[in-house]
Structure 1
């Protein structure tokens, strides 16, 4: 039987800490959430590899380094309410729920919603809810949010989503630009979101976040 606890410690020691992520709440959450239990059975062996893991329906579990550095840059407070877009089977939501007051996760497939909710319940995560709907529309009813996080990449972020960010709130997105990809953190001040470079990382573009093609006449 695989020793996942040792692999989890190794993931943190070799992928997270060397990336200058040292805040205790992030390290603690990533050490305590069993990543392999939020993946399909045939993917659990690759739970702790240093790369993105592809799930059905175009979902991605971001590589540990990327995910940890995004959490670090967001500066999540224990009183924050978080919108987690594209939670897959619930891993990102489980980690975020350890750091924040409450997490609203969005998935666009009823089976994934059910499985994510079941995984979260089985691991005692009672400060999170998974709702069904298009990711790019967010979850306006439960907003506005202190933090918004997209589990995957975007070419553009719709205003309908940015409108759900509280004044003073932060949003983290991997932008599919250049060969590398760029993570930017958006800060909302005076009603407008200003984006700042955080670090380079890549991920597949999420449905609904591709740039609309320009049609030439």
Structure 2
């Protein structure tokens, strides 16, 4: 596989049509080698528009979804970012390309170790990958300029929203079953947050987050 051509095709055919047009975001996507973050068994799918299994019930997001999350955070390069759900480290690498520092939390130790190795191979150095339950965030490093959840949740815990700076943004795919949307939360004051649904998409669940009780009749 010509990975350079495949990466170019991914950007032009999958990502641009999803209204990801920021030149700096596209530059990061064009330069991060996605194949370094894909399990060996799925190398042929590295640049396809699909979720890629990582084991442990986790999966890599579609390239266009990772790109759109990046785009909608509007990072400038000076931010401290918290990522929930490191997975293979691909989204982490994208964030690192547009932030000053990234703290990434992964609940599964094996995935965290793999992600560290992947990031090292890719030459990404401004990232701290930790084994932790992402639902509680990283209060010791807060406040963050931006928080991104690399997977879906039923709802965003208040604990995470409280770890944003005033003016900071949290982006997550929120909802149930086949009804989910990317929602952007903005902290507008010490005790006030706004939220806005941006686009519809379903994504694999992040582990460790509370699910609502389902009534049985």
Interval containing the TM-score (normalised by the shorter chain)? over 0.9
Give the conservation status (yes or no) of the 8 Å contact 2:154–2:212: no
Runs ≥4 in structure 1, deviation > 4 angstroms?
A: none
| Matched residue, 1:197 | 197
Q: Secondary structure at the match of 2:97?
A: helix
Aligned mates of 1:69, 1:98 — CA distance in 2 = 15
> How many pairs are equivalent?
215
Q: What's the CA shift for 1:214?
A: 6.0
Tell me, in whole angstroms, the C-alpha distance in 2 between the residues paired with 1:215 and 1:10. Answer: 46
Residues 1:174 and 2:173 are matched in the alignment: yes
Deviations 1:87-113 (A, max 9, x none): 112111111101011101111122222
Q: Tell me if 1:131 matches 2:142.
A: no
Q: Give yes or no for contact 2:107–2:207 (8 Å, CA) kept in 1.
A: no
Cα deviation 1:11-67 (Å, max 9, x = unaligned): 000011111111112101111111111121012211111122221122221112212
Aligned to 1:212: 212
CA–CA distance in structure 1, aligned partners of residues 121 and 12 of structure 2: 27
CA RMSD of aligned residues (A): 1.6
Gaps of 5+ in 2: none
Contact 1:146–1:169 (Cα < 8 Å) also in 2: yes
- TM-score for the superposition, normalised by structure 1: 0.93
Comparing 207-216 with 110-119, greater Cα deviation is found at 207-216
TM-score normalised by the chain length of structure 2: 0.93
Q: Are the counterparts in 2 of residues 152 and 205 from structure 1 also a CA contact under 8 Å? A: yes
Hey, what's the Cα distance between the residues in 1 that align with 2:177 and 2:204? 13
SS at match of 1:199: strand
Q: Structure 1 regions of 5+ residues with no counterpart?
A: none
CA drift at 1:139: 1.6
Shift of 1:180: 4.4
- Give secondary structure in 2 for the equivalent of 1:104: strand
1:181 is paired with a residue of what secondary structure? strand
Find the counterpart in structure 2 of residue 113 from structure 1. 112
Cα distance change of structure 1 residues 147 and 182 upon mapping to structure 2, 3 Å threshold:
same
Query: What is the match of residue 67 of structure 2?
Result: 68
